[in-house]
Amino acid sequence: MRPPARVLPQAWPHGRSLAVSVSVMLEGWSDNAAPGVGPMGNVLKAGTLDLQARSWAEYGVNEGTWRLLDILAAAHTTAVFYVSGILAERHPALVHAIAQAGHHVAAHGWAQEIIPATQAPDVEKADIARCVAALQQACGHRPQGWLSPRCTPSAVTTELLAEAGFGWHAEFFDQDLPRPIATAHGPITAVPFTMEVNDMPMSVRYGQEPESYTRTLQRILEGWPTLASRPACLDVTVHAHVYGRPMGAIAFAQSLALLKEHDDMAWVTHHHQLGTSFAT
């Protein structure tokens, strides 16, 4: 039997029924690693370092982030930038520029090939600490939010994040609304994350054209009134090395404009606002 709905007081601000969070993933890999997915379809021999994929991913630092910052500024929209600790250490000026533009910098693990679910607890704890230190050094304040690489936490990630002082993390796919999770170190907010409007699965994994990104968002927004019996969350997510490129960036800009056309229904927000406003 489905559990009863947990409706937030007065839904979202101004009676809106859909909270749409905007996120940008700024991802990095260690020197001996590369993205597991990329634009080339032919599989390399096992153990080969995919330097093409590494170069493809570095576009996010060199070009993509700057283009996405321009688009967000033109749309008067604030996002959460999920940043790998290794990038904050190597490109502190870029992370500082993101924070100075008014966006929230959250932690996205140390490097993208390091999956918390594969780590021993003490190693995971150390990686969280060095990620926090690098981000704090780059942008001047401790990150409050976290998203594990591949969105795949370990069984103890929530406890470790609460112990490290995080207020929220966004690797929850099982409910529509934020919720507090009790830990031995105090509560931490579970922020829901949706994948329907996300360039990585849509264009990299499934090979859909960038126009499908905006088209999917439009379908959800236009159809939402038939479903809006309770408030829910939706994510509009891009990766700096994927939709930071011209074709994807155009789709992202068009999607932000589309959200403004549905301002009466969609509250444009971000995970940090959800994670801190609904922490209790």
Q: Provide the CATH number for the domain around residue 82.
A: 3.20.20.370
Beta bridge partners of 169: 146, 190
**Is residue 138, in this structure, part of any structural domain at all?**
yes
Q: Please tell me the predicted confidence (pLDDT) of residue 1.
A: 43
Residues 56-81, mean pLDDT to the nearest whole number: 97
Structure confidence at residue 277 (pLDDT) = 81
Asked if residue 272 is part of any domain, the answer here is: yes
Domain assignment of residue 193, yes or no: yes
Residues 33-42: what's their mean pLDDT? 81
pLDDT at 278: 66
pLDDT score at 8: 44
Evaluate whether residue 207 is within a structural domain. Answer: yes
Q: Domain count for the chain, please give it.
A: 1
Spatial CA neighbour of 169 closest among 194, 182, 151: 151
The one-character DSSP state at 112 is T
Q: DSSP states of 211-239 as a string?
A: HHHHHHHHHHHHHGGGT-SS-EEEEEEEE
Q: Which residues make Cβ contacts (< 8 Å) with residue 63, sequence separation at least 6?
A: 244, 245
Structural domain harbouring 21: 14-29+54-277
The 3-state DSSP class for residue 159 equals helix
- Residue 239 forms part of a structural domain: yes
In this prediction, residues 236-262 reach a mean pLDDT of: 97
Whether pLDDT at 240 is above 50: yes
- Whether residue 121 lies inside any domain: the answer is yes
pLDDT confidence band for 202 (50 / 70 / 90)? confident
Structural domain contains residue 37: no
Looking at the predicted structure, is the pLDDT value of residue 10 above 60?
no
pLDDT above 60: residue 235: yes
Residue 7: predicted pLDDT: 43
Q: Is there a domain that residue 114 lies in?
A: yes
**pLDDT tens for residues 183-200?**
999 999 999 999 999 999
Mean pLDDT for the chain? 92
Determine if the pTM surpasses 0.85. Answer: yes
Percent of the chain clearing pLDDT 70 (strictly above):
95
